[in-house]
């Protein structure tokens, strides 16, 4: 084991732990990184909490996205204004006409 790896495992700091926690959502961590993170989380309640928070946010964001993409939204974020609706309809009509010419 290289010195750098040993140091990562034995002396992982919170900012590094935070970075690895986020990275774990995006790439497989190396064995050394996993060991360092697990060891750090054993002694650091804040970093255990960070993992739960990021997981919670991830799930929340996923749900919001699915709802919106399916056209259902539990919030009232409004509807197109009448002016915008007319403007878009005109733009589409124009484009359709150009197509047919």
The residues of the shown chain that bind another protein, judged by CB under 8 A, are: 13-15, 18-19, 22-23, 25-27, 44-46, 49-50, 52-54, 56-65, 68-71, 73-75, 77-81, 84-85, 87-89, 91-93, 95-96, 99-100
Nearer to another protein, 7 or 85 (CB): 85
Q: How far is the CB of 92 from another protein (least distance, A)?
A: 5
All residues at 6 or more sequence positions from 67 whose CB lies less than 8 Å from its CB, including other chains: 73, 74
Q: How far is the CB of 101 from another protein (least distance, A)?
A: 8
CA 16 to chain centre: 19
Q: Check residue 28 and report its DSSP letter.
A: P
Nearer to another protein, 38 or 57 (CB): 57
Question: What's the token pair of residue 33?
Answer: 């990184």
CA 24 to chain centre: 12
């Amino acid at each position: 084991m290289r010195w750098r790896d040993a140091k990562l495992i034995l002396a992982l700091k919170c900012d590094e732990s935070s970075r690895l926690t986020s990275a774990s959502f995006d790439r497989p961590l190396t064995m050394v990184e996993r060991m360092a993170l697990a060891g750090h989380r054993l002694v650091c309640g804040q970093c255990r909490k960070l993992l739960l928070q990021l997981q919670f946010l991830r799930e929340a964001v996923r749900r919001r996205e699915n709802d919106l993409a399916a056209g259902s939204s539990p919030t009232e974020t409004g509807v197109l204004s009448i002016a915008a609706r007319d403007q878009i309809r005109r733009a589409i009509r124009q484009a359709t006409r150009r197509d047919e010419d």
